[in-house]
Amino acid sequence: MLVTYLEASRDLCETDSILFGAALAVCRIIGAKVSTAGRATGHSSAIPAWRRRIEERIAKARALIGRLICFRSGNNRPRIARTVRMAFAGTNVSLSQPDITQKLTERIDDLKQRIAAWGKRIRRYTERSTRFKQNRLFQSDQKRLYESLERPMVSGTGPAPNQADTVAFWRGLWSGITPMDPVIITPDDVAEAVHRAPNWKSPGLDGLHHYWLKGFMVCHSVLARQFQEALNQKSLPSLFTTGITHLVPKDQELEPSLSVTEQNLADRVRYILRSNIFGDAELERLQREAIPSSNGNATAGNAVPVDAQQTAFVDSAVNIPFVANSDDDGIVSHELEKMRSILEESMLETRSMPLENRPRLPRIPLSKRNRAVVRALNPMLVTYLEASRDLCETDSILFGAALAVCRIIGAKLPVAGRATQKSSAIPAWRKRIEDRIAKARALIGRLTSFRSGNNRPRIMRTVRMAFAGTNISLFQPDITQKLTERIDDLKQKIAAWGKRIRRFSERSRRFNGGSLTRSLAKW
């Protein structure tokens, strides 16, 4: 179905839009959840929201401690006195009573204990996060872990380098590179590059994962043609080149060092090229080029032309046999029209959609059914890809195809846009329990205030809600006993909820420690 769209693609941007539309159609077909409010492009802070809230509480508590100490020392300015009254709001403490100094000391000690508890919570999270990152880094890259443990962190306390000098240094270094020989990009090159790419690594600005480039095989020839045109014209869309370069110093010297020379860069490139592992066919081809033989013509005559191979490859992808009642794929012939309509809707939707408004494509299961849907959309993409004018259009086509796949298989797409921030590592059930604990603690505070004699309307309303559904009245003689029982019951619930969280934390710590032990044993 994509053949028609790809044939009409004029450039890479249009091809990208077509592929995104196809992916969106797949997500809708399979029932995947698609976001509707666009995709946020701003990077959120690495500090979690709960930690920022705790740090704000600590800052406010420290400021309040300073005001209380000033008032205890005899500073009776109106601003200080007003802050102290707000600190004792909801209690029966008056600033003119004889034991006000003792009340101030108790309030200061209580705030200090809260600050210590909040700081301990942040330290526990920091230590746990550090252990988790080190364990993951040990499993993936032990060299980086040991370097991070042994090498001191570069603080960069010296003066910042001049921006113009830094840009001129790197521009002069990179502009002196010898031009490369002409490169011819074939569909086989695109297929090989896509084949080695991971399926669900974080996509670029277009939001298109490598999985969709693997599934929509009919786009390989179009991408090869449009990449070749971009190389010949020496121009690429900003979608493929826009980015930010961060200069990270390796030592205390912030100025550009002459240790980075053209020879160092050439050695690095040579090392990368030598690290490539060639297959048997590639080694035979390199051997024939290096050592010409007498039967070179016969070998060349027996070889299959690249264009013929690619044509047969595309034809086999386009002319996929479809069985009416296939037990393996689970797709019947009458579903093709529905899939085609979903694909067209996704193409129209993503053709003029800005990159920041594209939904985030989910990771779909690699089941037979989903693979069959992706294979079925390949012949439909040919028309779109053949009409693609540049890489941006090709990218749009592929994204539309991926979106169509998600819709066809019913994959769920996020409803709040494709945000680039990382999700919190705290499970949802733990967040719910922490919310219950916070509400229970707030209720305990209101009940304690009412028991101490605070009869403000807000406090009384909260106490009535706490005893809703019971025959307890706030004016009965044993209300103090009922309040104490209710407070003890809430404290027991908080203890049980906290014990559940601690059990999970201990189990998670044992699991991570066991994983690290097994990895060390293998090493």
Same domain, 475 and 340: no
Same domain, 17 and 65: no
Q: What are the residues facing 232 on neighbouring strands? A: none
Same domain, 23 and 67: no
Same domain, 55 and 4: no
Question: Which pLDDT does position 322 carry in this prediction?
Answer: 40
Percentage, residues of the chain above pLDDT 90: 10
Question: Which pLDDT does position 58 carry in this prediction?
Answer: 94
266's tokens: 């050439």
Of 421, 438, 460, the last residue of a domain is 421
- Domain membership flag for residue 65: yes
Q: How far apart are CA 244 and CA 194, in angstroms?
A: 25
Residue 502: give the domain boundaries.
428-522
Same domain, 19 and 114: no
Q: Is the pLDDT reported for residue 117 higher than 90?
A: yes
Helix, strand, coil shares of the chain as percentages rounded to 5?
65, 0, 35
Q: Is the pLDDT reported for residue 416 higher than 80?
A: no
Span of 12-16, 212-216, 343-347, 423-427 with lowest mean pLDDT: 423-427
179's tokens: 């031009």
Per-residue H/E/C for 395-446? HHHHHHHHHHHHHHHCCCECCCCCCCCCCCCCCHHHHHHHHHHHHHHHHHHH
Span of 39-43, 276-280, 344-348, 463-467 with lowest mean pLDDT: 39-43
Question: Which pLDDT does position 259 carry in this prediction?
Answer: 56
At a CB cut-off of 8 Å and minimum separation 6, what does 215 contact?
Answer: 371, 374, 375, 377, 378, 402, 405
> For the chain, how many residues are written?
523
Q: Is the pLDDT reported for residue 413 higher than 50?
A: yes
Listed residue (337, 316, 225) closest to 1, CA to CA:
337
At a CB cut-off of 8 Å and minimum separation 6, what does 329 contact?
Answer: 323, 368, 369, 371, 372
Q: Mean of the per-residue pLDDT values for the chain?
A: 77
- Domain membership flag for residue 261: no
Q: Are 400 and 15 in contact (CB under 8 A)?
A: no
Listed residue (341, 361, 357, 336) closest to 24, CA to CA:
361
pLDDT band at 115 (very low <50, low <70, confident <90, very high): very high
Q: How far apart are CA 479 and CA 344, in angstroms?
A: 69
- Domain membership flag for residue 70: yes
Residue 76 carries which side chain, given as an amino acid letter? Answer: N
Average pLDDT in the 154-158 region?
57
Of residues 158 and 16, more confidence is placed in: 16
Span of 191-200, 257-266, 499-508 with lowest mean pLDDT: 257-266
Selection from 33-47, 104-118, 237-251 with the highest mean pLDDT: 104-118
Vertex 222: Cα angle to 218 and 223 (nearest 5) = 105
At a CB cut-off of 8 Å and minimum separation 6, what does 93 contact?
Answer: 100, 103
Same domain, 325 and 377: yes
Q: Is the pLDDT reported for residue 415 higher than 70?
A: no
Q: Is the pLDDT reported for residue 62 higher than 50?
A: yes
Selection from 158-162, 285-289, 414-418 with the highest mean pLDDT: 158-162
- Domain membership flag for residue 278: no
How deeply is 16 buried, as exposed, middle or buried, from its count of CB atoms within 10 A (0-12, 13-18, 19+)? buried
Residue 11: helix, strand or coil by DSSP? strand
Q: How far apart are CA 471 and CA 473, in angstroms?
A: 6
- Domain membership flag for residue 123: yes
- Domain membership flag for residue 458: yes
Q: Are 347 and 400 in contact (CB under 8 A)?
A: yes
Question: Which pLDDT does position 124 carry in this prediction?
Answer: 92
In degrees rounded to 5, what are phi and psi of residue 349?
-75, -40
Q: What is the pLDDT of residues 321-367, one digit of tens each?
A: 343 344 444 455 667 888 888 888 888 888 878 877 888 888 888 88
Of 399, 421, 443, the last residue of a domain is 421
Question: Which pLDDT does position 55 carry in this prediction?
Answer: 92
Same domain, 453 and 321: no
Span of 25-34, 205-214, 287-296, 350-359 with lowest mean pLDDT: 287-296
Q: How far apart are CA 50 and CA 52, in angstroms?
A: 5
- Domain membership flag for residue 268: no
pLDDT band at 427 (very low <50, low <70, confident <90, very high): confident
Of residues 150 and 17, more confidence is placed in: 17
Same domain, 336 and 394: yes
Same domain, 235 and 311: yes
- Domain membership flag for residue 184: yes
Same domain, 199 and 128: no
Q: What are the residues facing 22 on neighbouring strands? A: 401
Same domain, 216 and 353: yes
Question: Which pLDDT does position 4 carry in this prediction?
Answer: 86
Of 141, 164, 193, the last residue of a domain is 141
For residue 106, give Cα distances in angstroms to 82, 86, 247.
19, 16, 51
Same domain, 194 and 311: yes
Span of 405-419, 460-474, 506-520 with lowest mean pLDDT: 506-520
Q: What is the pLDDT of residues 438-457, one digit of tens each?
A: 999 999 988 998 888 888 88
Domain count, the chain: 3
pLDDT band at 298 (very low <50, low <70, confident <90, very high): very low
